[in-house]
Amino acid sequence: MEEETIYDFPDAEAADENGLLAIGGNLSFVTLINAYKKGIFPWYNPGEIIQWYSPDPRFVLFPDKLKISHSMRNVFNKHLFRFTVDNAFREVIKNCRIAKRNAGPGSWISDEIENAYIHLFEKGFAHSAEAWQNNELTGGLYGVMIGKVFFGESMFSNKSNASKFAFISWAKVLQKAGIELIDCQVYTEHLESLGAEFIPRQQFIQLLNELI
């Protein structure tokens, strides 16, 4: 049955210059977990065949290198937001899907992607971190946790600093839980300001082998 089929992947080093490694397969639970363990993630536009990526270099954040700016420390000190974990996974992924992006035609989160990660959440592998203001969901992120690695997928913010608040709060939780690596996948200025950095793909794969 397709749901139980584990699609194997080529070695990550076989990816092209854009990080594209494979096309096809499915988004079943076993396929996704197998992909993440090998440093591979799905990324494609709605209506396209599933595409799998493993970019080089890889953009990551080590929780002990988290940067908290003076302005964000003020946000925390003023208690502008309330933080929760796994309280609104479906709402977070829905908001990530409809969030306006600075570039590109729109969200890459299709029905297929949304349903696949909700299934991962129900299995206990996907998690969401949420920022609330006056009982309204104002920001958050979701991703997949395997071993001592959290693979970030997407984040959104409906209020200034809400997503940064959620990310910083979540990174602190992960560090206390013994998570040693946060995969940010590809570069964003937003995450760089929080301490994310590039590392060679070969080093990233080696870290996965040690931490998963």
- Cα(40)–Cα(151) distance, integer angstroms: 10
pLDDT for 7 beyond 80: no
Asked if 25 and 51 count as a contact pair (C-beta separation under 8 A), the reply is no
Nearest Cα to 19, choosing from 47, 39, 5, 4?
Answer: 39
Q: Report the pLDDT value the prediction gives residue 174, as an integer from 0 to 100.
A: 98
- The two tokens of residue 119 are 């299934």
Q: Report the pLDDT value the prediction gives residue 101, as an integer from 0 to 100.
A: 54
Please give the CATH number for the structural domain made up of 2-53.
3.30.70.3550
Q: Domain 58-211: which topology?
A: Aminopeptidase (3.40.630)
Q: What is the pLDDT of residues 165-196, one digit of tens each?
A: 999 999 999 999 999 999 999 899 999 999 99
All structural domains of the chain with their residue ranges: 2-53, 58-211
Q: Report the pLDDT value the prediction gives residue 195, as an integer from 0 to 100.
A: 97
Q: Report the pLDDT value the prediction gives residue 33, as an integer from 0 to 100.
A: 96
How large a percentage of the chain has pLDDT more than 70? 93
Q: What is the mean pLDDT of residues 135-164?
A: 97
How large a percentage of the chain has pLDDT more than 90? 88
Q: Which amino acid is at 60?
A: V
Q: Report the pLDDT value the prediction gives residue 69, as an integer from 0 to 100.
A: 96
Q: What is the pLDDT of residues 96-148, one digit of tens each?
A: 999 865 444 345 789 999 999 999 999 999 999 999 999 999 999 999 999 99
Q: Report the pLDDT value the prediction gives residue 108, as an integer from 0 to 100.
A: 76
Q: What is the pLDDT of residues 43-99, one digit of tens each?
A: 998 889 999 999 999 999 999 999 999 999 999 999 999 999 999 999 999 999 998
What single DSSP character describes residue 110?
-
CB neighbours of residue 90 within 10 Å:
13
